[in-house]
Amino acid sequence: MKKFTVGLMGLFLFFLVSPGISQAAPKELVLGCNFILSGPAASLGLGMQRSVDRATELINPKGFMVGGEQYILKPAYFDSKYVPAESVSNLEKMLAQGIKFVYSTGSGV
């Protein structure tokens, strides 16, 4: 019985001091998407939105590495309404939110 207790205590101490395998939560890479989601060309923007959503579904289960760090993709959608001034406004909103990566279609910025 004494050997069993000593062995159990040794096992407990081993797990107590051994470094555990921890996985840090992946960081998010926010992709600002300036698409035409309403207005006369909404079908173009909605198709682009579905494409980005599908790409996100395919990429995020495993994530991707940037500079040795694990990331997942998080799209943020902005509606340009096919109006150039709205695209500029959307870009300003993205920059104010700290979004560094932008994907824009339709009325240009």
Concatenated DSSP letters for 30-72? EEEEEE--SSTTHHHHHHHHHHHHHHHHHHTTT-EEETTEEEE
Contact 106, 33 (CB under 8 A): no
Give Cα 91 to chain centroid, integer Å: 19
pLDDT of the residue at 22: 44
Do the beta carbons of residue 78 and residue 32 sit within 8 Å? Answer: yes
Comparing 1 with 33, the larger pLDDT belongs to: 33
CA–CA distance, 86 with 64 (Å, rounded to integer): 32
Tokens of 101: 């990566």
**pLDDT tens across 82-106, in order?**
888 999 999 999 999 999 999 998 6
* pLDDT higher than threshold 70 for residue 13: no
Tens digit of each residue's pLDDT (9 = 90 or more) over 37-55: 998 889 999 999 999 999 9
pLDDT class for 25, splitting at 50, 70, 90? confident
